[in-house]
Amino acid sequence: MKKTIVKSKPDLNQASKRTAGIIETIRFDINAVDSLIGQGKLANVQTYGCQGNVADGDAIIGLLEKLGYKITDDENQADLILLNTCAVREGAENKIWGIVGRLKRVKKARNGVLIGLCGCMAQEETTITTIQEKYPQIDLVFGTHNIHELPHMLKQAMSGQKLIQVYSDSSTIVEELPRVREYKHKAFVNIMYGCDEFCSYCIVPYTRGKKRSRAKADIFKEIDDLILSGYSEITLLGQNVNAYGTDFEDSSYSFGDLLDDLAKTNLKRLRFTTNHPHYLDEKTIKAMANHSMIMPHLHLPVQAGSNRVLELMNRKYTKEEYLEKINLLKVLVPGISITTDIIVGFSGESQKDFEETLDLVKEAAFEGAFTFIYSKREGTPAALFKDDTSIEEKKLRLKTLNTVVNEGYLKGHKRFVGEIVEVLVDGVSKNNELILSGYSQHNKLVNFPGDKSLIGKLVSVKITKANTWFMSGELI
Ligand code: SAH
Ligand code: SF4
Ligand code: F3S
Beta bridge partners of 164: 6, 141
Among protein residues, the one whose CA lies closest to atom 15 of ligand 1: 341
Per-residue pLDDT of the chain (476 residues), as tens digits, is 567 888 888 888 888 887 767 889 999 998 888 889 999 999 999 999 999 999 999 999 999 999 999 999 999 999 999 999 999 999 999 999 999 999 999 999 988 999 999 999 999 999 999 999 999 999 999 999 999 999 999 999 999 889 999 999 888 999 999 999 999 999 999 999 999 999 999 999 999 999 999 999 999 999 999 999 999 999 999 999 999 999 998 889 999 999 999 999 999 999 999 999 999 999 999 999 999 999 999 999 999 999 999 999 999 999 999 999 999 999 999 999 999 999 999 999 999 999 999 999 999 999 999 999 999 999 999 999 999 999 999 999 999 999 999 999 999 999 999 999 999 999 998 888 899 999 999 999 999 999 999 999 999 999 999 999 999 999 99
Q: In the prediction, which pLDDT does 1 show? A: 53
- Tell me how far the alpha carbon of residue 198 lies from the centroid of ligand 2, in angstroms: 6
- Tell me how far the alpha carbon of residue 94 lies from the centroid of ligand 3, in angstroms: 14
Cα–Cα nearest to 210, from 185, 173, 176: 173
List of residues 6+ apart from 94 with CB closer than 8 A: none
Among protein residues, the one whose CA lies closest to atom 2 of ligand 2: 199
- Tell me how far the alpha carbon of residue 194 lies from the centroid of ligand 2, in angstroms: 9
Q: In the prediction, which pLDDT does 34 show? A: 81
In terms of Cβ atoms closer than 10 Å to its own Cβ (0-12, 13-18, 19+), residue 374 is buried
Among protein residues, the one whose CA lies closest to atom 4 of ligand 2: 239
Query: Nearest ligand, CA of residue 52?
Result: 3
Q: How far apart are CA 306 and CA 310, in angstroms?
A: 6
> In which element (H, E) is residue 383 found?
none
Among protein residues, the one whose CA lies closest to atom 3 of ligand 3: 50
Task: Sort residue 283 into left (φ over 0), alpha (ψ -120 to 50) or beta.
Answer: alpha
Task: Sort residue 459 into left (φ over 0), alpha (ψ -120 to 50) or beta.
Answer: beta
Q: In the prediction, which pLDDT does 430 show? A: 84
Measured from the CB, is residue 87 less than 6 Å from ligand 3? yes
Ligand 3 test: best mutation among 56, 93, 203, 204, most atoms within 8 Å of CB?
204
Three-state secondary-structure class, residue 301: coil
Tallying the residues shown for the chain, one arrives at 476
List of residues 6+ apart from 430 with CB closer than 8 A: 437
Q: Output the DSSP codes for 363-380.
A: HHT-S-EEEEE----TTS
Q: Output the DSSP codes for 169-194.
A: ---EEEE------S-SSEEEEESEE-
Q: What is the pTM of this model?
A: 0.96
In terms of Cβ atoms closer than 10 Å to its own Cβ (0-12, 13-18, 19+), residue 160 is exposed
Q: In the prediction, which pLDDT does 21 show? A: 72
Measured from the CB, is residue 205 less than 6 Å from ligand 2? yes
The 10 Å Cβ neighbour count of residue 280 is 25
Among protein residues, the one whose CA lies closest to atom 7 of ligand 3: 204
Measured from the CB, is residue 243 less than 6 Å from ligand 2? no
CB burial string 138-155: b at 16+ within 10 A, e below: bbbbbbbbbbbbbbebbe
CA 286 to chain CA centroid, nearest Å = 25
Q: In the prediction, which pLDDT does 9 show? A: 85
Task: Sort residue 440 into left (φ over 0), alpha (ψ -120 to 50) or beta.
Answer: beta
Q: How far apart are CA 147 and CA 145, in angstroms?
A: 6
Would you tell me the crossing angle of helices 150-158 and 51-66 to the nearest 10 degrees? Answer: 60
Measured from the CB, is residue 207 less than 6 Å from ligand 3? yes
Q: Output the DSSP codes for 93-109.
A: HHHHHHHHHHHHHHHHH
